Copies of this chain bind each other. A is one copy, B any other.
């Protein structure tokens, strides 16, 4: 049993490998050889009056890749009012001001636990790999310019993913926080070896072949008027899209059509419920359960981009436990024979008695 840190996960994971594994995994999912479980969230009061406790679990199994994964988040959530409205914010309330998100990886052949690691880096990677895979099918082959809205944790992964699948020469990035935007541009220029420059939202989109939205904004950052023929657009959050963006797209693909989800709220856990219901209604307007999905693309059940002028849109809104099996497989291949991480006795995590 291996215990891995975010740093160790980051050091060995390559987005290209993850995109490849994700392609395999979505093919398996589309043909029902891979399986994704129901996403389960429990919300209850916690010590803070302005917060709730959330226990979230999701799981998936990819037999071809030899692994099953369970992701667990144990969070203190708040919904502070901002000028944007009300925003869901995780509070790092664990000792040392830390967050609690874990992935447990299991062997499909023996059932044994293979590894436990935090979900921070791998969460960025699974979102990035999913968008990278979609871009491989939907973005123009000669895409060179990227407009990136958002410069946070997810935006890093997005930039790396698109650079891995297309001959990207420059990225224009935008964030309302100018200093953060500049810092992101410098860091990513060095990391990716391509030109990353800070810009306004509008400038970022102008002339872009690929537009990636990776913000935490509660109101639209991408206006339909800015969209030009041939663009590929991806989005991680419904609220960041102007409602008319989807109408401009010739092809809209969601990462998964059906994702079973179950939420239980205990008494007293109604905080921010209205905001969420509102948001859920907003998400439904895109009718994601009727759209082709990533498995359809990989299996060629849907054609993907048909011409240089098609506008394509990829929606990557609901996390799947299954994606943690795909990325977990890549991670395990990288670390298992290389002595990376803390080796703990597997017997501590297994049992002589059945249950």
Mark contacts of A29-69 with chain B using CB atoms, 8 A cut-off: 1 yes-contact digit, 0 otherwise: 00111111110111111110000010101011101000010
| A37, B262: Cβ atoms closer than 8 Å | yes
Q: Residue A192 at the B interface, CB < 8 A?
A: no
* Closest B residue to A63 using CB positions: B44
A106 to B40, CA, bound (A): 16
A100 to B348, CA, bound (A): 10
Kindly provide the distance from the CB of A12 to the nearest chain B CB, expressed in whole angstroms.
17
Q: Residue A193 at the B interface, CB < 8 A?
A: no
Number of residues in A with C-beta < 8 Å to the partner? 80
* With contact pairs A342-B348, A350-B96, A355-B101 given, residues A267 and B44 touching in the complex (Cβ less than 8 Å): no
| B61, A99: Cβ atoms closer than 8 Å | no
| A90, B32: Cβ atoms closer than 8 Å | no
* With contact pairs A70-B72, A94-B111 given, residues A42 and B53 touching in the complex (Cβ less than 8 Å): no
Q: Residue A116 at the B interface, CB < 8 A?
A: yes
* With contact pairs A53-B111, A94-B112 given, residues A353 and B40 touching in the complex (Cβ less than 8 Å): no
A57 to B260, CA, bound (A): 14
| B351, A100: Cβ atoms closer than 8 Å | yes
A351 to B95, CA, bound (A): 10
Indicate which residue in B3, B35, B120, B351 contacts A44 across the interface (CB closer than 8 Å).
B35
| Cβ contacts under 8 Å, A43 to chain B | 35
A73-81, A158-166, A232-240, A248-256: which one contacts chain B?
Answer: A73-81
Indicate which residue in B45, B55, B346, B355 contacts A73 across the interface (CB closer than 8 Å).
B355
* With contact pairs A42-B37, A106-B100, A113-B102 given, residues A266 and B353 touching in the complex (Cβ less than 8 Å): no
A residues contacting B by CB (< 8 A) are 3, 5-6, 31-38, 40-47, 53, 55, 57, 59-61, 63, 68, 70, 72-76, 90, 92-96, 98-102, 104, 106-113, 116, 118-121, 123-124, 153, 260, 262, 264-269, 342, 346-355
Contacts A35-B264, A76-B110, A101-B355 known; list 6 others, CB within 8 Å: A6-B353, A37-B42, A42-B59, A102-B349, A118-B349, A123-B355
